Amino acid sequence: MDDMRAQAAAVEEFAAALRELRKSVGNPPFREMSARSGAISHTTLYEAAKGNRLPSWGTTVEFVKACGADPAEYRERWEGANRIVGSARTGRPEAVAGTAAGRPNGGTAAPASAPERHAVHIAVDPPLGPPGPGAPPEPPPSDESAHDVPPPA
């Protein structure tokens, strides 16, 4: 089985476990689970069960708690899936050893096709017109020094 298939299988297997847990407690609507959690949206819960990508550990915790189960029972299973997803992404199993413990809330490995992100800096023109009340005074023109400017009347 190639890396991409292993990654997809690990994600689907984990999502299937979440769906089975939800089914075991009466298949509550995701909105109800979200309300029980109070910390995560119904859309995020739905995405976790859908199986398109591995949910973060934090999402997994909230999903499991919303079903009234113990998140600790899912930690090892999540870490195993996270290792597979990470090794499929990097091609090096040793590159992901301990990744879950090293990230806040466990983190989520990005899919292999994730685009690179770059910072973009945008220049913004200052607002037109006089400053409003309470605005700081404008600095003196560059050809004047501060001591050449008469004090305000």
pLDDT along the chain (153 residues), means of 10: 87 97 97 94 96 96 97 96 79 42 43 51 60 60 51 59
Query: What pLDDT, on a 0 to 100 scale, did the predictor assign at position 110?
Result: 46
Query: What pLDDT, on a 0 to 100 scale, did the predictor assign at position 102?
Result: 38
* Domain 3-106 part of CATH 1.10.8: no
pTM over 0.75: no
- Residue extents of the structural domains in the chain: 3-106
Query: What pLDDT, on a 0 to 100 scale, did the predictor assign at position 1?
Result: 53
- Whether residue 23 contacts residue 8, with contact meaning beta carbons closer than 8 Å, is answered with no
- Whether residue 10 contacts residue 22, with contact meaning beta carbons closer than 8 Å, is answered with no
